[in-house]
Structure 1
Amino acid sequence: MIFPAIDLQKGRSVRLFQGDFKQSRLVNGKPLEQAALINWRGIHCLHLVDLDGAKAGQPQNLKTVQQIAGRFQGMMEIGGGIRTSETIEQYLNSGISRVILGSVALKDPDFTKAALQQFGPDKIVIGVDGRDGKVATEGWLDQSVMPMADLIGEMVAAGAQTFIVTDVAKDGMMSGPNIDLLASLQKKFPDANIVASGGIRNLADIRALQKAGIKDMIAGMSLAQGTLTLQEVKEVNDDAG
């Protein structure tokens, strides 16, 4: 399954290069229309990121997210600045299908584990972003020393099932996904769903990821640049059932 991505910055849809907030490219000034087009093309899953929220540590584009959730038909997930149970409940009550806990999974594992218990693994996704195999946090502004595999292992033990894994060096660069990293993590944690994020250029990359055992993935820059089309996404998703 391919999730088209909409990254929100000041109420607009943008794409960043390697997570650099100073290097953003406008995709659509009206993300609600962008989401509606994705829906109209027969795609019923959507990946949302509150970039400002990731930086601030609390939601900053809530109104835009709620507008999208009120109209989009299908599965939606949201990440960026989610640090409290109240925020999780607010998003879920707005129609979001599941929320992504990223930086907080490293910085407050007790809260993350409690959220998994309270809301269940179908509602809580763990976002694991990193450089050189080590976890990056706070919208990728900070670099930790914890290996990505260690964080995944700790969260698997706590009941997490789905992990969105992003190689920051690949994100927005159109250089191809880090298949070796993703495949190794999927092999290490066979009962987890490792979702590929970052670097996907085209249908060939998608097929390569599928061959490596990755079932789900997120596409952003490739859709913005047209090297991957919504029709191709629909066909892949239809094949996946």
Structure 2
Amino acid sequence: MIQLIPAIDIIDGKCVRLTKGNYSTKTVYCDDPVYMAKCFEDCGCKRLHIVDLDGAKARHIVNIKVLKDITDNTNLIIDFGGGIKTDDDIKNAFDNGASMVTVGSIAVTNNSIFENWLSKYGANRIILGADVRNGKIAINGWEKDSGIDLLAFLEHYINLGVKNVLCTDISKDGTLTGPAISLYKDIMSKFPDLNLIASGGVSCIDDILDLEKENIPAVVFGKSFYEGKIKLSELWDLQKE
């Protein structure tokens, strides 16, 4: 069974979604992230992916209160990302209830810090964020292209012990056009033991089932739920299978 991981993206303390990472396309879906998290928990989801979009842009955590409020009011296993650049940032995330953190940009700009975190906190608590555009890694809220090849980037860190990778195809994110299944198949073909989390483009339950057929371990989804294309009842039924 593919693991279902709903996403809550935060700007100004509110649940939002962007299209292809463009901040000017922001749509606010809910003013109360705790309510939304409880909705996901009530339909059987165990995990939650929180993205501090303000933090990603500011290059330091901004919406820590949202993380704390959700962890105080749910039993969800939360991974938190966005703006984690320093030792204080990652400690702040863990101290406020994150079970895992998703770290991407710092793995590009300061790999020694990332490697230290991997050693200090363990591979089970660190998710490598691999945000890809045209086969290259993008960083800092997707505003900058690094020029680094995706598969080479993954291979480097998998060789250092990374087990969990969240890969977002930026061209798909928020578009509701279906996930980049061929991309994820290529990754799994090269790294068959990787706990790969697919992200971007999910438009309906059938997209999730298609990923499951290809043995993709996990999937993040957001806009498809907020737009009513995936129903709470469908999530509940899928969790029971």
- TM (normalized to structure 1)? 0.96
Unaligned runs of 5+ in 1: none
- Alignment: residue pair count: 239
Q: Percent identity?
A: 33
Q: Which amino acid aligns with 2:221?
A: A
Shift of residue 5, structure 1, vs aligned partner: 0.6
Shift of residue 6, structure 1, vs aligned partner: 0.3
Q: Which residue of 1 aligns with 2:210?
A: 208
Q: Which residue of 2 aligns with 1:136?
A: 138
Q: Which residue of 2 aligns with 1:46?
A: 48
Measure, in 2, the Cα distance between the counterparts of 1:232 and 1:116.
36
Q: Which residue of 2 aligns with 1:126?
A: 128
Kept in 2: contact 1:70–1:94 (CA 8 A) = no
Q: 2:111 aligns with which of 87, 109, 122?
A: 109
Q: Which residue of 1 aligns with 2:222?
A: 220
The reply to whether residue 157 of structure 1 matches residue 159 of structure 2 is: yes
* CA displacement, residues 40-79 of structure 1 (integer Å, 9 cap, x when unaligned): 2232211100001001110111112111111121211111
Q: Which amino acid aligns with 1:99?
A: V
Measure, in 1, the Cα distance between the counterparts of 2:203 and 2:136.
24
Q: Secondary structure at the match of 1:95?
A: coil
Matches within 5 A, 1:159-198: 159-198=161-200
Q: 2:76 aligns with which of 74, 77, 96?
A: 74
The reply to whether residue 238 of structure 1 matches residue 240 of structure 2 is: yes
Q: Which amino acid aligns with 1:149?
A: L
- TM (normalized to structure 2)? 0.96
Following TM superposition, the consecutive aligned residue runs of length 4 or more in structure 1 with deviations greater than 3 angstroms are: none
Unaligned runs of 5+ in 2: none
Measure, in 1, the Cα distance between the counterparts of 2:218 and 2:89.
26
Q: Please tell me the root mean square deviation across aligned C-alpha atoms, in Å.
A: 1.1
